[in-house]
Structure formats: C-alpha cells, structure tokens
Amino acid sequence: MMADRIITGIDVGTYQVKVAIARVPKGKGDRVIPEIIGTGYAESRGLKSGYIMQEDDVARSIKSAIVQAEKSAGVLVKKAHIAIGSIGLEEIYSRGEIIPTRADSEITTADLEKVMQDSEDRIIDHIPNRKILHSIPLRYLVDGNEVLGRPQGMRGTKLEVDALFITTYEQHVNDLIGTIESIGIYVEDIIASPLAASFVMLSKTQKRAGCVLTNIGAETTSIVVFEDSTPISLRIFPIGSNDITNDIALGLKVPLEEAEKIKRGGMTSATFSKKRLDEIINSRLSTIFTLVDTQLKKIKRDGLLPAGVILTGGGSNTFSVTEIAKNILSLPARTATLEIGKNTKVKDASWAVAYGLCMWGASDTQETSTIGTVKQTKHSILSWLNQFLP
C-alpha cells in the first residue's frame, strides 16, 4: 500500500497568509487532481507591499496559519511550496545560441539545456541583486527557422532559443526562505504568485488560445499572459483596489470603512451622486487597464488574445469592472471562477495561489502543459535553493 502524498502551499500575501494542504492519491495515473484536506489563514503582520519588514511578526503569522491548516487536515506540515509576489517580480527576455555538440549535428536534450544556459549567461550581468525564479523557453530556431514542436532529433549547425526569465530580488527570496525555515518548514520550491494562480484560474483552452490573467489585489495588480499554453509575459503594477477605496474616500469625503462598503456595491446612508461615484471608480480602473494595455502593446498582443482578459483578485468584484476592461483592452472580459472539484474547502479566488501551489507540487509529469513548461525549470529553481540550505 503506497501512502498518499501530502503537499502544502503557502501564500504570504500583504493582507493574509493562506495555507492549503492537499492530498494526492497515489497511483491514479497522471491526471491526479490534488484534494484540499485543510486550509488555514492569518492576518499578515510585518510585511509591506509583500516585503518582509519584521521577520518575527511574519513568522508568527505563517505559523498560526499553518497550525490552523494542520488541525483541519489532521497532518503535520514538514515542507512546503511557496509563492512569491510583490512588485519585485520582473521579466526579462533573452536569446541564446549554440552549435549542437554531436558530430552529426543532431540536437539533443543536453543541447536544449545548454542553449537555455547561454541565454541566461547573456543577461546575468544585467540583473545584479536579482534571482531567476523561472526560465521559460518561448521558441526554438534551428538554422534560423522557427521550430514548431520539439527541436530534439532535428539536425542543424545552429540552435537558438528565445527565452523569458522571471526574476525577483535575491534578498527578498532569502528573507522569505529564512523566515519559513525558522519555524521548521523546509522550502521545497518557490514560484511566482501570478503563475501559481494561473494553474487554477485558467482553462487549457484559454491558455492555448491566448489570454491575460489580471489579478487586482489590494496594493498591486499582476498580469500573466499566455499563448500556445506558455506564459509569455508577467508583470506587477504597484496599484490596486486600495487605491479605489482611497479615491472614493477622498472624492466623496467619507471615512475609509464606508468607502470600502460603497466600492463593493453596498449602499450606505450617505447621500452622494451615483454619477460621481461611477466617475471615481471608472477613472481608477481605467488607469489599471491602461497599464495592462501598454504591456500588451509592448509584447505586440494588444487586442489579439482570443480568450480575452480573465479578472481575479479582490478588485475584480468591483462594480462595472468587466465593462471597463472590455472597452480599454478591446478584448472579451470575464471574472474568473475557481473550479477545483466539489469536495474542496477552498471558498473563493483569493485562495487561487495557495491551491495553485498544491497543483504545481502534484504535477510530476513533464507534459507540455503550462505547468510542464515551467516545471521543466524546476531543477534550476531547486539547484539555486539548495545553495541556501544548511
């Protein structure tokens, strides 16, 4: 009898630490869907915009969320997959090229690793103080011609790759690992939050056709763009739904608590013009979607993602948000729904990252799904993580 695997995901957000514990039934083939058996959350303390300011406070918050999750799951957590968000995440593109090593010019898997390494070597000096979290090959060229599918087994005198690297501040990563390991939990893996969320918020069809997942959080808005099932861009903007609340408070001269209620569509006793409120909200949401559109223009995908914009995060339930997104981005827009099986304890989309981490931990297959593309770089994430272990 093989025991079930237990996987834990920890999402350290600016407002809450969320922990999801999942059980992966053994030996049911590849398409195993992890079942959430416990969740826990705690108010985040000691963080600012996702950065650790007070390590002790952060450790306490994480510990309390874990204890809660352990209780509800009836298991002890010893290791976990961690998400890293905040405005420190950045993307950088690079191109690598090598001459295939075999005498008969046949391209091997080792060549693919080598050409990715070459593209990394070309940027490493330009990103001091940063760590590469994910290296994603976007397309391969053999003798100048784009390869559709796998280049292994083809012959050529030159192999090139266009690659996307997702980086974050090295110090930020070290602090996060240090804090989590200080409470006795081994960090198995680290993944960018927007990618983790994409594993549960987007369908295969959406990722294949092309879409942009837009998460409007409290202090930041993150986007990840998919095409041909591959993440081709990831950005975080320092503007979020708190800004909408502040705008309402200032514009209507009401207290923050009331502004928050009004934003969520709960009318209060206050008398104010509905038209004025719409103007305030629309103006801030327009700013957010204009940033998204600018990024899509930069990667030449504006108006060209058939599956459109999928909205998630706290700000996505703001009144009229899909209309504004549709108008500014000239794309179909919808609010994402978290679809994760019937018997799960996860309530809403704010759990997407924690649950996505469990999905990532459960997928061992090197399949060509999105998780696969990112997962293939897992060895590179792990190899650098191991440098910090005692």
- Domain range annotation of the chain: 5-87+170-201+339-386, 90-167, 204-335
pLDDT digits (tens, 9 = 90+) for 229-279: 899 999 999 999 999 999 999 999 999 999 988 887 776 656 778 889 889
Matching residue, tokens 């827009």:
333
Q: What is the mean pLDDT of the chain?
A: 86
- The yes-or-no verdict on residue 390 having pLDDT over 50 is no
Q: Is the pLDDT of residue 129 over 90?
A: yes
Within 10 angstroms of residue 317's Cβ, the number of other Cβ atoms is 17
pLDDT above 60 (res 380): no
204-335: in CATH 3.40.309.10: no
pLDDT for 148 equals: 85
* CATH class in words for 5-87+170-201+339-386: alpha beta
Least confident of 77-86, 107-116, 302-311, 342-351: 342-351
Instruction: Considering only CA atoms, give the Rg of the chain.
Output: 22
| CATH code of the domain occupying 90-167 | 3.30.1490.110
Q: What backbone torsions phi and psi does residue 141 show, to the nearest 5 degrees?
A: -125, 140
**Model pTM score:** 0.87
In contact, 152 and 45? CB cutoff 8 Å: no
Environment class of 36 (CB within 10 Å of its CB; exposed 0-12, middle 13-18, buried 19+): buried
What backbone torsions phi and psi does residue 329 show, to the nearest 5 degrees? -90, -10
Does 346 score more than 70 pLDDT?
no
pLDDT value, residue 29: 54
Q: Which two tokens stand for residue 54?
A: 């007070």
Question: Residue 235 forms beta bridges with which residues?
Answer: 223
Q: At what angle do helices 241-252 and 274-298 cross, to 10 degrees?
A: 150
DSSP secondary structure letters along 325-355: HHHHHTS-EEE------SS----SGGGHHHH
Per-residue b or e along 227-256, where b marks 16 or more CB atoms closer than 10 Å to that residue's CB = bebbbbbbbbbebbbbbbbebbbebbebee
Q: How many residues does the chain have?
A: 390
> What is the percentage of the chain residues whose pLDDT exceeds 70?
87
Tokens of 379: 């060895």
Q: Strand locations in the chain, DSSP E?
A: 5-12, 16-24, 35-43, 47-48, 51-52, 79-84, 90-98, 130-142, 145-147, 159-169, 186-192, 211-216, 221-227, 230-237, 309-312, 333-335
Same fold? 5-87+170-201+339-386, 204-335: yes
The sheet with strand 5-12 has its strands ordered as 35-43, 16-24, 5-12, 79-84, 186-192
Is residue 189 helix, strand or coil? Answer: strand
Q: Which two tokens stand for residue 180?
A: 């989590």
Q: How far apart are CA 145 and CA 136, in angstroms?
A: 19
Phi, then psi, of 305 in degrees rounded to 5: -110, 100
Distance CA(210)–CA(304), nearest Å, equals: 8
CA 61 to chain centre: 21
What's the angle, vertex CA 326, arms to CA 268 and CA 213, rounded to 5?
90
